[in-house]
Amino acid sequence: MVSIPLNADARPTSIRVDAEATGKVGSQSEAGRAPGGPAEFDRIAPRLKAVLRVARYHGVELDPNEFKVASASPVPNATDLSQWAQNGGMWSRALRIRWSHLLRFEHTGPVVLLFNDGGAGLLTGASPERNVVFLKSADAPEDAEAMAIDELRLSQVWAGEAVLLRPARSYIAADAPFTLGWLIDLVRFESRSMRDIGIASFTLSLLTVLPPLMVMTLVNKVLQFNSVSTLVLLSATIAVLFVYETLLGHARRLIINVVGARLDTKLNLHVFSRLLRLPLDYFERHPAGETMYHLAQIYRIREFLTGKLLSTFLDLITLCVLI
């Protein structure tokens, strides 16, 4: 028969606010203030332990000394815990959820469940087929195996109070979905450089049309009327246009290389940031070959952005001028 660790033999460590100690938890000595130590971790209330474990799972180290009690409750409540996590740079929400909602956390990160006796547990998974969830005690070792708990047993010690914790959900570049819109925004950030490339391409397209016109003028004016002055003028014009076209083409190639390098770098940084922000269980559930396959597809998109896309853009300008 499965049972849930409730910490019945020892009451939860009460959290109090000490005004003279800047409102931080506990009356620990200065020597024991470094967060994360084994001795200090044993003295922390079970609910704080659960939040600390979930934060470490997501790669965030919270400081127990920064936990502040905003209510008169003898144990930390969900609101205080959520605010503590938010102050530590995480996205957090205190809420009440039902059993049916717990079954949806099948492949997500751990969720903190707050028990009625002041203790806490970690929801590490769920099995809708078996209608059970998998819980670990906040005091259990890191390598301890989660226990399967059904709805009846959990309802005896849990009233639906929970705290969701994840890395910060602020909309930043690393959190943006990899879509066509994101690629368009990535190119749009280089709008000034793309404008310069467009102007240079348009000018070079016009210079491409000028030589045939000059040949026609040469045939009509110089050969027919033996106009030496017109020949000298056309020769000087062609020389100037040749030098100008060479310099302008060289400048356009430099800008294209710079834009391509920027797009390549931003795409690589975005991919690297997304890999670092993935939870640990992603790499446990997905083989390395699958991840490498997706990375290879991203690199194909990178080659398209920095190669064929720019070439098509330049050829389209020339085509519009000739038409």
Highest mean pLDDT range out of 29-38, 155-164, 180-189, 216-225?
155-164
Q: What is the pLDDT of residue 112?
A: 92
Q: Decide which of 124, 146, 169 is a domain's last residue.
A: 169
56-77 mean pLDDT: 81
Same domain, 26 and 156: yes
Same domain, 45 and 187: no
Residue 173: is its pLDDT beyond 90? Answer: no
CB 6 within 8 Å of CB 115: yes
Q: What DSSP string describes 119-147? A: -EEEEEEEETTTTEEEEEETTS-TTPPPE
CA distance 238 to 243: 9
| 149 assigned to some structural domain | yes
Same domain, 45 and 71: yes
Residue type, 30: E
Q: What is the pLDDT of residue 35?
A: 43
pLDDT digits (tens, 9 = 90+) for 91-150: 888 989 999 888 888 777 889 999 988 889 999 889 888 999 999 888 888 778 889 999
Label the pairing between strands 120-127 and 158-167.
unpaired
Residue type, 72: A
| 28 assigned to some structural domain | yes
| 5 assigned to some structural domain | no
Same domain, 190 and 256: yes
Total tally of structural domains belonging to the chain: 2
Q: Decide which of 169, 192, 209 is a domain's last residue.
A: 169
| Local structure of 121: helix, strand or coil | strand
Range of the domain at 90: 19-169
CB 12 within 8 Å of CB 122: no
| 221 assigned to some structural domain | yes
Same domain, 150 and 179: no
Same domain, 204 and 115: no
* 174 confidence band (pLDDT: 50, 70, 90): low
CB 95 within 8 Å of CB 113: no
Q: E strands along 16-101, which residues?
A: 90-96
Residue 33: is its pLDDT beyond 60? Answer: no
Residue 298: is its pLDDT beyond 90? Answer: no
Task: Provide CB contacts within 8 A for 221, sequence distance 6+.
Answer: 227, 230
Domain with residue 216: its CATH number is: 1.20.1560.10
Q: Decide which of 169, 201, 219 is a domain's last residue.
A: 169
Same domain, 253 and 117: no
**Helix 228-277 to helix 288-303 angle, to the nearest 10 degrees?**
160
pLDDT digits (tens, 9 = 90+) for 228-268: 887 888 888 888 888 998 999 899 889 888 888 888 888 88
Domain with residue 82: its CATH number is: 3.90.70.10
The overall pTM is greater than 0.85: no
Both tokens assigned to 137: 């005690």
Residue 45 is given by DSSP the state -
140-163 mean pLDDT: 88
Same domain, 249 and 264: yes
What does pLDDT average to over the chain? 76
CB 45 within 8 Å of CB 84: no
What number of residues does the chain have?
A: 323
Strand ordering across the sheet containing 111-115? 90-96, 158-167, 111-115, 120-127, 132-137, 147-150
Q: What is the pLDDT of residue 175?
A: 58
66-74 mean pLDDT: 76
| 6 assigned to some structural domain | no
* 28 confidence band (pLDDT: 50, 70, 90): very low
Of 124, 80, 126, the closest CA to residue 103 belongs to 126
| 141 assigned to some structural domain | yes
Same domain, 270 and 316: yes
CA distance 265 to 58: 26
| 7 assigned to some structural domain | no
Both tokens assigned to 42: 């044993």
CA distance 297 to 211: 44
Task: Provide CB contacts within 8 A for 224, sequence distance 6+.
Answer: none
Q: What is the pLDDT of residue 177?
A: 67
Q: What is the pLDDT of residue 137?
A: 86
Same domain, 288 and 274: yes
| 10 assigned to some structural domain | no
First to last CA, the chain: 82
Same domain, 146 and 217: no
Same domain, 125 and 55: yes
Highest mean pLDDT range out of 100-104, 169-173, 301-305?
100-104
CA distance 257 to 250: 11
Q: What is the pLDDT of residue 31?
A: 36
